Amino acid sequence: MSVINTAFLFDLESNMRVLTENTYSSLVSNQWWRNVAVEMSSQSKKERLIWLLETGFLEYGVEGQAQFLDMATVTQEFENKFISGSGLKMLRSQLEDLDGNGVQIATAWSRTMGALAANFPQQELARAIIANPTAYDGVAFFHASNAGGTTGHPIDPTTAGVNCFANLFTGASNANNPGALPISGVSLDVAQDNLGKALAYIRNVKQPNGINPRKLKPTKLFVPQALAIPAQLATGAKVVARASTGGAGSADVSALIDNFGLEVIVCEELGASYGGSDTVYYIGCEAPGMSQGAFTYVNREPFSITYHGPQSDAQLASRREFEWLPQGRSVVGPGHPFLLYKVAAT
């Protein structure tokens, strides 16, 4: 007698849902991607995001006179993509035969899908960071700047090639880029000095009006696994041998460490094993009143699995195979480049 009936399928799929949801819930809270990207729901195939620019200013002038400016904006289009993955297909015999292990296969697949769904936004964000997409101002998201500030990200994206800032620190330093700032392969005091240079540059980035500071607050240090220990030492060691003492003795750098205010977050997906680098780290920032992030995760259709659902015994009797498919639609795209900085070792 066949065991494939309405009750069996209901129990099987109920168990599969619970396993997927429990695995998802246990992993989704332990993700770093929300520290970089803002999630946005979507109702269409394409979303056009509008970025408002703070170009207003105040200065002394003549009573009753003012300059009237349009609110400056830039836009960027994001097209949602279909999520495809490893579906599950089983023959009827795998579920009916005691040695077919069908139920075990279904439960193992459900746990795997839950884990993959929890990690998917982070996986795609890491790929986007490594790929370095074009930002809304028309240049690569991570971009260096020359001494004259004519390359890189313009503080006002509507005015290209003027007053540009860097969010890629690499190579030799110049008047508008601190250059490469390694935190591994150097002494601890040099690593801390390098972090200090990066933070000083970030805090000096101006608003689009070119007058006021953006008041950026560096809060996160994103590192690959290879930089986990150097990063913890650079942001946590409060007694360090300094070059000023000839490497002998030690100096209390508690005030320096407290001023950093950085939380170290290890991001395995940014390492060399995943196409990134084991010597590059990233500094994430907050800005007053900023609701949008360095990247955006547009979620058109949340991840789900297509189940068979209620079917009569007569319908099930004619089925020779069963399949379950993962589905969803989303996309990861670049946002504000002044909220994330890439720091190279060379």
Query: Where are the domains positioned within the chain?
Result: 1-24+32-41+75-346
pLDDT at residue number 1: 47
pLDDT for residue 32: 97
What are the DSSP calls for 57-86, one per residue?
Answer: ------TT-----PPPEEEEEEE-EE----
Residue 236: its H or E element: helix 228-236
pLDDT of 263 reads 96
pLDDT, one tens digit for every residue, the chain (346 residues): 467 888 888 889 999 999 999 998 989 888 999 999 999 888 888 877 766 666 554 455 555 555 545 556 777 888 999 988 889 998 888 888 766 678 889 999 999 999 999 999 999 999 999 999 999 999 999 999 999 999 999 998 888 888 999 999 999 999 999 999 999 999 999 999 999 999 999 999 998 888 889 999 999 999 999 999 999 999 987 778 776 555 555 788 888 788 899 999 999 999 999 999 999 999 999 998 887 899 999 999 999 998 887 777 877 887 888 889 999 999 999 999 999 999 999 9
How high is the pLDDT of residue 306?
Answer: 87
Long-range (24+ apart) CB contacts under 8 A made by 174-179 are 174/145, 174/146, 174/147, 175/147, 175/148, 175/149, 176/145, 176/146, 176/147, 176/148, 176/149, 176/152, 177/144, 177/145, 177/146, 177/147, 177/152, 177/201
For 264, the token pair is: 């170290």
d(CA 124, CA 205): 28
Distance CA 218, CA 198 (A): 10
Q: Which residues contact 51 (CB under 8 A, 6 or more apart)?
A: 73, 74, 75, 76, 136, 157, 292, 335, 336
Contact 120, 269 (CB under 8 A): no
Distance, in Å, from the CA atom of 62 to the CA atom of 66, rounded to the nearest integer, reads 8
Q: What is the per-residue pLDDT for 58?
A: 46
Which tokens go with 130? 């490594």
Longest Cα–Cα distance in the chain: 94
Instruction: Name beta bridge partners: 49.
Output: 76
| Token pair for 268 | 């395995």
Kindly give the residue spans of alpha helices, DSSP state H, lying in 97-163.
Answer: 102-131
Can you point out the beta strands (E) in the chain? 37-41, 46-52, 73-79, 81-82, 88-91, 153-154, 164-165, 168-169, 217-223, 239-240, 251-252, 263-266, 281-286, 295-306, 321-334, 340-343
With residue 26 as reference, give the H or E element that holds it.
helix 6-28
Pull the structure tokens for residue 13.
């799929």
- Report pLDDT for 52: 65
Distance between CA atoms of 344 and 170, rounded to whole angstroms? 5
Of the candidates 265, 259, 256, 193, the one whose C-alpha atom is nearest the C-alpha of residue 232 is 265
CA-closest candidate to residue 343, choices 224, 210, 204: 224
Judge whether 292 and 338 are in contact, CB under 8 Å.
no
The pLDDT assigned to 55 comes to: 55
Q: Encode burial over 168-182: b for 16+ CB neighbours within 10 A, e otherwise.
A: bbbeeeeebbbbbbb
